[in-house]
Structures are given as C-alpha cells and as structure tokens.
Amino acid sequence: MPTEDSPQNSVKHWQDCMDVYDFLEQIRLRPGVWLPGGSLRHLEAVLTGYRVALGVHAIDESFDFWPEERFTKWLHERRGTSSSLGWAAEIERTTPPDSTPIEEFFRLLDEYRRVAVSQTPNTSMSRFPGIEYIIANRARHAAVLQRRLICLVHSDDPDIRFDPVGAMPVMWNSDEWSDANRRG
C-alpha cells in the first residue's frame, strides 16, 4: 500500500530503520506481517514498544505517537473531536466504509507529516514517559473499556518503589521474593 508520498519503497530489516517514520514505512509496505487482522491497536502496541526501546537505549528521538502527543493532538484538532482512547481507537471508529483503518492511518500520517514539516519537532526527552506512565496509560485504557489490567514488573532493585496507580497501592508478593532481604 505504498503511496507517492511515502519516501521509502523497499523492504528492509526493522533494525535498519533510521527513525519511527522509516519504521512506519516498513509497516506500510507489509501491514499483514506487522498488524494481525489490520488492527490499529496492534500498531499502537508496536509503537509503544518502539518508544520504550528508545528509552531503554537512551536514544533521543522525536516521537509523536504517545497519547497526548503531537499526532493525537493534530488528529483531534483536524477532526474537531476528542477521545480518551487515543489515535488508534479514533481512527478505527471513524474510518470511512470505502477504506480500512490501516489505509486511513497512513493517509492521515501522510497529511500529518506534510503539516508537521513546517513545525519544529519536539525532541526533548524532558517529558520522557517511564514505566509508570506506560502502566498508568494502559490502566486508563482498561478502565475506560471496563477491563482488568495486570502488570508484572521484574526488578532486582531492592529499593524500587512505585506510586499508587489509581486508588490501589502497588503490592509486593513477599512469598515469591528471591531476595528475602528485600525492603518494601
């Protein structure tokens, strides 16, 4: 489903991608490989993983696809709507009958990139979301959809602490601690 607006038209390994847009072009070329069933929720999950990997490897790259970031804000302004479920749900809900959510996303992405070129990208990592942000964001989605969310965090840091998520404090299962001297 490449278009004349897409700068990339050859398949390459995902590790050879230079940035998120290069990676998205690879997904555009082979959406069936990356997105089972053509779901934008899968794309949103893949991009969440991409952003987490940037943070883990301390790569400073502009990333417009977090909720409340530039792509979501642009989409809501363009459509005159608001959604607590983010850009993927918004696009899936409003895809015209003669299109698919994937086609609609890439059409909107091309339009967004034409508009965003004239604006300076936000490359600051000052608001880099950590694991707490990811857990809280997924918890918000689960709450809106009236689903449960279970998060398992593995750490060998005996002093690791998390703020309460919603009204529930983070609980430790002391029976499964490999370190009996864990503080907490």
Mean pLDDT for each consecutive 10-residue tract of the chain (184 residues)? 52 75 90 86 88 78 81 88 81 91 94 78 48 69 74 68 63 60 55
Q: What is the CA radius of gyration of the chain?
A: 19
User: What was the pLDDT predicted at 125?
Assistant: 42
**Using CA atoms, how far apart are residues 56 and 134, in angstroms rounded to an integer?**
13
Domain-by-domain residue ranges, the chain?
A: 14-150
CB 69 within 8 A of CB 116: no
User: What was the pLDDT predicted at 104?
Assistant: 94
CB 34 within 8 A of CB 46: yes
User: What was the pLDDT predicted at 112?
Assistant: 93
Cβ atoms within 10 Å, residue 121: 12
User: What was the pLDDT predicted at 133?
Assistant: 65
Using DSSP's 3-state secondary structure scheme, residue 168 falls into strand
Quote the pTM value: 0.60
